[in-house]
A and B are shown apart, each in its own frame.
Chain A
Amino acid sequence: MTRTDEELVALTVRGDVESFNQLVLRWERPIYALAYRVIGREEEARDVVQETFLRAFRGLANFRGQAKFSSWIYRIALNLCRDWIRRERRAPVSQAPEGVDLADLASERGPVESIEDLVARHDMSRTVARVMEELPEEQRTAIILKEYHGMTFQEIADLQGCPLSTVKTRLYQGLSVLRRHLSEQGHEASSVGPSR
């Protein structure tokens, strides 16, 4: 039987460390993906994941369930990412997504895809990473939370601590800049956007 996050939290607070490790297993990849896209560095993103779960572990006794566990750790991770960006006093560095498995990429499109197409897709990933780094942190984070984590406007507003209308503005402005930059780089977007 799969336990809910809240059940696992309750078990952890009663001393069952393995329950917390189940939470880690459930959420480490989303948190890593978030950290990687926000700060743009693989190793630092790993550090953020570790620190996020350590902080969650330490603070679990104070977690009263006023928010979802996932929202809580997303908030911790975003705060750590923000700290990193401010500490480094620089924009995130777009780094080649080295862990992307070409075999996985190939299996998504079937065996007929050529190596040129695979590499082109890999390059597109880099291009998107590069243009995303041009965005202000708030816009970039809003887009990441919306596009890759499927959050609602309200959930993003809660995480970013801003009004809902500000989230919409950030998304609109960010997407418009991305659209322009991609067009300038010869990547006329033509496909249909992903659904939530």
Chain B
Amino acid sequence: MTVDMRCQDKDRLIAYLYGEDGPGERAGVEVHLASCGECASEIDGLRATRGRLSEWRAPDVDLGFRIVREPAPAARGAGWRVPAWAALPAAAALVLAAGAAIANLEVRYDADGVTVRSGWGQAPPAAVPSPDAGAAAAQDAAWREALAETERRLRAEFAAASPAAGAPGAARAAAPAPRVDQSQIQALIEASERRQQRELALRIADVVRDFEAQRRADLVQIDENLGQIEGLTAARQREVMSYLVRVAEGR
């Protein structure tokens, strides 16, 4: 059954716009739109506005966010327990500034486990891969070594800080350190590089746009100046003609 619509039924108009109305309501809206130019124009305008909204794009970013959790020791039971080392005050607030060494990467150890983030800030220049293959390989080896060293140091610190260290329950302190997969890190770094390339492309577009805007502004300015010159010339011509007329009349 067709449901009559009035101009002020904006809820029905919006339901019609998004196709979330029933068949009867839809038929009623269509009957109304066929006879009401104002509402027909409004629905066309709203449809077109939706079309413009589709132009708004969210940035295509590489988020690379993952959660890595150390397997809980069997003695502590399975599930969502915080690793023993994470409960230590020293470990709870420990944030590695590894990003400086391994291309914009941050590895955070806290009560929630291990969080790896990448591409969240400006990468240090040293992290930008060199076009030279040998240098790149050396750089690659350097950060791998730095990462391994960090891991060794962490293991030592956790073992030393744990009250269970050296005790019969030392097996807990000797639990495997948080796993940081190097291939994963490499993938994150590559993703960061791709992002930088995209940003460069966008910067170039910005320059093009700014250049075009400046060019248009200059053209407008030139046009105005020419107009002023033409105006002055025309005024001067009129003065000369007026003078000549007066002279001729005087004679």
Task: Please encode chain A, from 173 to 196, with 1 for each CB lying within 8 Å of some chain B CB and 0 for all others.
Answer: 001101100100001111111111
Cβ contact within 8 Å between B51 and A168: no
Name B68-99 residues within 8 Å CB distance of A. 68-69, 72, 78-80
**Contact status A119-B212, CB under 8 Å:** yes
- Whether the pair B51, A99 counts as a contact (CB closer than 8 A) is no
- Other-chain residue from B65, B195, B205 in contact with A122 (beta carbon distance below 8 A): B205
Contacts of B15 in A (CB 8 A): 153, 168
B61: which of A46, A119, A187 is its contact (CB, 8 Å)? A46
Q: Is A125 an interface residue (CB 8 A)?
A: yes
Complex CA gap A176/B112 in Å reads 45
A21, B120: Cβ atoms closer than 8 Å: no
Task: Assess whether A147 is in contact with B58, with CB atoms less than 8 Å apart.
Answer: no
Give every chain B residue within 8 A of A152 (Cβ-Cβ): 20
Contacts known (A46-B120, A122-B205, A176-B46); A99 close to B112, Cβ less than 8 A:
no
Bound: A179/B195 CA distance, A: 33
Task: Kindly identify, within residues 150 to 165 of chain A, every residue whose CB is under 8 Å from any CB belonging to chain B.
Answer: 152-153, 165
Q: How far is the CB of A191 from chain B (nearest CB, A)?
A: 3
A68 CB-CB contact with B under 8 Å: no
Q: Distance in Å from the Cβ of A59 to the closest Cβ of chain B?
A: 11
Is the interface on chain A under 10, 10 to 19, 20 to 34, or 35 or more residues? 35 or more
Given A43-B120, A101-B198, CB of A119 within 8 Å of CB of B208 = yes
Docked pose: A161 CA to B249 CA in angstroms:
89
**B-contacting 9-mer, from A3-11, A27-35, A69-77, A80-88:** A27-35
Stretch touching chain A among B6-14, B130-138, B151-159, B160-168: B6-14
| Given contacts A49-B65, A100-B60, A115 and B46 within 8 Å (CB-CB) | no
* Inter-chain contacts of B46 with A (CB < 8 A): 175-176, 179, 193
Pair B66/A119 contact, Cβ less than 8 Å? no
A118: B residues at CB distance < 8 A = 205
Interchain CA distance A135-B209 in the complex, whole Å: 27
A36 touches B10 (CB 8 A): no
Contact A99 B65 (CB under 8 A): no
Q: How far is the CA of A143 from the CA of B113 in the complex (A)?
A: 37
Bound-complex Cα distance A132 to B57 (A): 13
Most buried by A among B61, B78, B198: B61
Could you list 21 examples of A-B contacts with CB < 8 Å?
A33-B58, A50-B115, A54-B115, A99-B58, A99-B199, A100-B60, A101-B60, A115-B208, A119-B205, A122-B205, A122-B209, A125-B55, A129-B56, A132-B56, A148-B58, A172-B14, A187-B52, A189-B45, A192-B47, A193-B54, A194-B54
Give the 5 A-B residue pairs with the shortest CB-CB distance, closest first.
A99-B59, A193-B50, A189-B48, A191-B51, A33-B58
